[in-house]
Amino acid sequence: MSQSHGGFPDLRIVPVSDLLLHEEVDLERVARLLDRLSADGILKNPPIVASLPDSDRFLLLDGANRVSAIENLDIPHLLVQVESFEDPALEVRHWNHVVRDIEARELADYVRSAAGIELVDDAPEGDPDYLGSIVAKDGKALHMRAPGSMKDRVRHLRAMVDVYYSREARMDRINHADMASVKEQHPHFGAVVIFPDFSKDAVRAVAEAGDRLPSGMTRILVPRRVLGFNMRLPLLKSNLPLEEKRRWLADQIQHKVSEHEVRYYQEPTFVFDD
């Protein structure tokens, strides 16, 4: 088996209570996951977490909906893939939101009244109060501002995203702000909401404060990703001691490696049955 970034992935079974979430969950996706996990009894892909310096807890990077579903099933332990928080290959970026069913001007009015956010025509570069931009079909943008602490910023962002979630507007995530591409791929969109990046330290601070960013905002780039481990949930839910579950995991990994069941794909890969 070829080696990936930093060698073989670090897989561990940890208490669910040791995980710090930084983002709200999508309740509809959690409900679907609950149905699937209850029926299959298998967690296909382990959530990805970061080990934190000077802490015994882990920052959840990817898999908030899976973790929420696991908690709802009263499962105390979870298989996770562990990365180092300080690894420079671990990056925090952002998703932008393509919003349908609401036009940009209408969305701006809702944001101004419901979320209490200031909307301006120009946003100076580096403005510490900048929250994001609402871009209309014609490319004109209104920029959102709200002064305050990080906790205030998070609260305003949740209120703003809730404007279209609460009105059942459909939303797609994109990793760019190319309006020509948006018009081609999403011809019936009403607005594009563009967000700024959050630093890793800011994401950690949000999680450790017990706060949550809106669902679908942070985009975490990890140096590697484990897929298809197919962890049996009855084992995780059992009353076996944590150390015994960890010994089972070590034996299982050794077996999979010795039987050549582990493959590393260096090239970009599309998964159609996730």
CA 161 to CA 209: how far, in whole Å? Answer: 20
Q: Is the pLDDT of residue 273 over 80?
A: no
Whether 2 has a pLDDT exceeding 60, the answer reads no
Q: What is the pLDDT of residues 15-41, one digit of tens each?
A: 999 999 999 999 999 999 999 999 999
Given the candidates 2.30.30.30, 3.40.50.11240, 3.90.1530.10, 2.40.37.10, the CATH classification of the domain at 10-91+221-258 is 3.90.1530.10
Read off the pTM. 0.90
Do 123 and 143 contact (CB within 8 A), yes or no?
yes
CATH pick for 96-194 out of 3.30.70.270, 3.30.300.30, 3.30.1760.10, 3.90.170.10: 3.30.1760.10
The domains of the chain are located at 10-91+221-258, 96-194
Q: What is the rounded (10 degree) CA torsion for 56, 246, 239, 44?
A: 90
Q: Give pLDDT, residue 124.
A: 76
So what's the pLDDT on residue 123? Answer: 82
pLDDT at position 203 over 60: yes
pLDDT digits (tens, 9 = 90+) for 89-145: 999 999 999 999 999 999 999 999 977 899 999 987 889 999 999 999 999 999 999
Q: Which helix (H) or strand (E) holds 79?
A: strand 77-84
pLDDT over 60 (residue 76): yes
Structure tokens at 260: 């050549």
Measured distance CA(58)–CA(46) in Å, rounded: 14
- What is the per-residue pLDDT for 1? 45
Residues 6+ apart with CB under 8 A from 266: 2, 4
